[in-house]
Amino acid sequence: MNCGAAMEEPAVGKSRLIVKNYSPLRSRLNWAIALIMLFGAIWLSFEYGRMQAGFFVLEAVETENGLRQQIAELGVASDGLRQKVAVLEASRLIDEEAYSQVEERLLDLQQEIADRQKDLNFYRGIMAPESQAEGLQIQELSLLQLAEEKYFRLQLVLMQAVNHSRIVSGRVRITVDGVQDGKSVTLDLSQLGRPGEQFEPIVFSFRYFQEFERGLVLPEGFVAERINVVPVPSRRPSRAVRQSFDWRPQTG
């Protein structure tokens, strides 16, 4: 029986057999169409992805260019700020140096003015007897601390006030009050010399004023508190004047 012929009606109560026509050409055509559609979909996806990637690359390039420009602008601004900082720093150093020089000069001028005022007062005391008591006076006494702890330099200025008609002569008696081994002690100038140094008294002879300088060495364990100065004229009517000063040496 031909397969393409009409099928016989099955008998009632028996299984039905369905027979379909099979065409190899149509099957291959369907497979070809499916493959074409698959490759088309793949190609479209690839092109879409490439297009999107192109957009992203373009955007990234534009962003990179913008960032490069910003970095360049910031670099220029940074260089400008560095130059300003350098100028300001140099200006600050110059200002500080100038201020330091001015301040130092001002201190020198103030010290010079004080020295001149001191000299003026000194000579005014000599030339204006109406404002001074008659006789010998201690115009100035200063102590200078030397490099060694117990070594000092004494500077003394004596002045004759009111009566300058004659020369006044005599000796200066100097003592130092202090504490040694817990006891009050008074040392004479002869006890305050350098070891092995021959003692020489302070002798004065002047009409207006005279300056003296003497080195002092304190004994070990002796703490000075006060220095006493008594100029003793060799002839009357000049009178001796005792003056005491706190022991406050200046550092050299």
Residue 154, domain extent = 133-251
Final residue in a domain of this structure, among 89, 106, 127: 127
Q: Specify if 100 maps to a domain.
A: yes
Q: 174: exposed, middle or buried (C-beta count within 10 Å: 0-12, 13-18, 19+)?
A: buried
Q: Specify if 68 maps to a domain.
A: yes
Dihedral sign, Cα of residue 182, residue 155, residue 170, residue 196: positive
Q: 159: exposed, middle or buried (C-beta count within 10 Å: 0-12, 13-18, 19+)?
A: buried
Q: Mark whether 98 and 139 lie in a shared domain.
A: no
CATH code for position 245: 2.60.40.150
CA distance 205 to 235: 12
Q: Specify if 2 maps to a domain.
A: no
Q: Mark whether 218 and 150 lie in a shared domain.
A: yes
Length of the chain measured in residues: 252
Paired residues of 245 in beta bridges: 227
Q: Specify if 31 maps to a domain.
A: yes
Determine which helix (DSSP H) or strand (DSSP E) holds 103, and give its type and residue range.
helix 24-127
Q: Mark whether 149 and 75 lie in a shared domain.
A: no
Q: Mark whether 32 and 77 lie in a shared domain.
A: yes
Tally of domains in the chain? 2
Q: Specify if 46 maps to a domain.
A: yes
Identify how many contiguous H helices and E strands the chain contains and give both numbers. 1, 9
Q: Mark whether 90 and 111 lie in a shared domain.
A: yes
Q: Mark whether 159 and 200 lie in a shared domain.
A: yes
CA distance 209 to 192: 25
Question: Residue 242: which of 138, 153, 170 has the closest Cα?
Answer: 138
The tens-digit pLDDT sequence of the chain (252 residues) is 444 444 445 544 555 655 555 566 666 677 777 777 777 777 767 666 666 555 555 666 677 777 778 788 887 877 878 888 888 888 888 878 777 887 888 888 788 888 777 777 666 666 655 445 566 788 889 999 988 888 999 999 988 876 667 888 899 999 999 999 999 999 999 899 887 777 888 999 988 889 999 999 999 899 999 999 999 888 765 566 788 999 999 886
Q: Specify if 202 maps to a domain.
A: yes
Does pTM top 0.75 for this prediction?
Answer: no
Q: Specify if 11 maps to a domain.
A: no
Q: Mark whether 247 and 137 lie in a shared domain.
A: yes
Final residue in a domain of this structure, among 127, 152, 180: 127
Q: Mark whether 211 and 119 lie in a shared domain.
A: no
Q: Mark whether 94 and 194 lie in a shared domain.
A: no
Q: Mark whether 151 and 243 lie in a shared domain.
A: yes
Q: Mark whether 106 and 91 lie in a shared domain.
A: yes
Final residue in a domain of this structure, among 127, 142, 166: 127
CA distance 251 to 148: 11
